[in-house]
Amino acid sequence: MNITRNNVDALNAVITIDLAKQDFAENVEKVLKDYRKNANIPGFRKGQVPAALVKKQYGQAIMFDEVNKLLQESLNNYLNEEKLDILGNPLPVAKDIDWDADSLSFDFELGLAPEFTVNLEAAKTAAKYKIVADEEMVNEQVEYIQKQYGKLISKEKVEEGDDIRVKVVNQEEGIENETTINVADIRTKTNQKKFIGKKVNDEITISTKGLFEDDHKLMDVLKVDHDKAHGLEVEVTFTIEEISTKEKAELNQEFFDKLFGEGKVTSEDELKARIKEDAEKQFAQQADQKFMNDAVEALVDNTKFDLPKEFLIKWLQTAGETALTAEQAEEEYTKSEKGLRYQLIEGKIITDNGLQITFDEIKDYTSGLIKDQMAQFGQLEPSEDDVTNIVSRVLSNQEEVKRISEQLMNDKMMKLFSEKVAADTKEVTYKDFVKEVYGE
Do both 288 and 408 map to the same domain?
yes
Are 291 and 126 contacting, i.e. CB atoms less than 8 angstroms apart? Answer: yes
Q: Is 380 exposed, middle or buried (0-12, 13-18, 19+ CB in 10 A)?
A: exposed
Closest CA to 123 of 429, 420, 430: 420
Q: What is the pLDDT of residue 374?
A: 84
> How many domains is the chain built from?
3
**Residue 202 domain-assigned?**
yes
Do both 426 and 287 map to the same domain?
yes
pLDDT in tens, 225-276: 888 888 889 999 999 999 999 888 999 999 999 888 889 999 999 999 999 9
Are 41 and 49 contacting, i.e. CB atoms less than 8 angstroms apart? Answer: yes
Residue 315 carries which DSSP code?
H
Q: What is the pLDDT of residue 118?
A: 93
Are 207 and 181 contacting, i.e. CB atoms less than 8 angstroms apart? Answer: no
| N-terminal to C-terminal alpha carbon distance within the chain | 65
Do both 185 and 300 map to the same domain?
no
Do both 38 and 81 map to the same domain?
yes
Q: What is the pLDDT of residue 439?
A: 67
Amino acid at 213: E
Do both 282 and 400 map to the same domain?
yes
Domain that holds residue 92: 2-112
Q: What is the CATH number of the domain that holds 19?
A: 3.30.70.1050
Rounded-to-integer distance, Cα 88 and Cα 193, Å: 61
Do both 91 and 214 map to the same domain?
no
CA 137 to chain centre: 31
Rounded-to-integer distance, Cα 341 and Cα 118, Å: 12
Do both 231 and 278 map to the same domain?
no
Regions of the chain where pLDDT drops below 70? 40, 43, 45, 47-48, 439-440
Are 166 and 181 contacting, i.e. CB atoms less than 8 angstroms apart? Answer: yes
Q: What is the pLDDT of residue 37?
A: 73
In three-state form (DSSP H/G/I as H, E/B as E, the rest C), the secondary structure along 239-273 is EEEEEEEEECCCCCHHHHHHHHCCCCCCCHHHHHH
Q: What are residue 5's DSSP bridge partners?
A: 15
SS3 27: helix
Do both 361 and 231 map to the same domain?
no
Q: What is the pLDDT of residue 305?
A: 95
**Residue 80 domain-assigned?**
yes
